[in-house]
Amino acid sequence: MADKVARDDAEWRQHLTPEQYAVCREKGTERAFSGRYFDHHAAGTYRCAGCGAELFRSEAKFDSGTGWPSFHDAAADDRVATATDRSHGMVRVEALCARCDSHLGHVFEDGPAPTGLRSCINSASLDFDPDAK
């Protein structure tokens, strides 16, 4: 994304709730089945809690059974960046907001068609805008 968002730590702490800060800036993970969007089925757009960037559409959301919102595709190719995560004795693919570098969750290669991907995303890193009726 062309319009990168950069804030210092104090600005992030002011902008985000403590839970959002722990997930988005400190790469935390909410407990499975505890987030507000893991069992959420409304039509609309999931946005980054850090900067408001459109990340995922409800049409790409599926029930992975993992307890976190899961998506098989991002809203556009340039919305979610990835990085290698070697924490906790594992090697995983970290999902990041391409606009503000907020930690979103992780990407796994066991998702449904058409991509075969499962972006397992923390609810705390998301806001939701319902589609107009």
φ and ψ of 61, to 5 deg: -85, 140
At 133, list the tokens: 């009726």
CA distance 72 to 15: 29
**In the annotation, is 120 catalytic?**
yes
Measured at the CA of 24, the angle between CA 119 and CA 65, to 5 degrees, comes to 30
- Active-site residue identified among 24, 48, 100, 120: 120
Measuring CA to CA, how many Å separate 25 from each of 52, 75, 126? 15, 22, 13
**What is the set of active-site residues?**
120
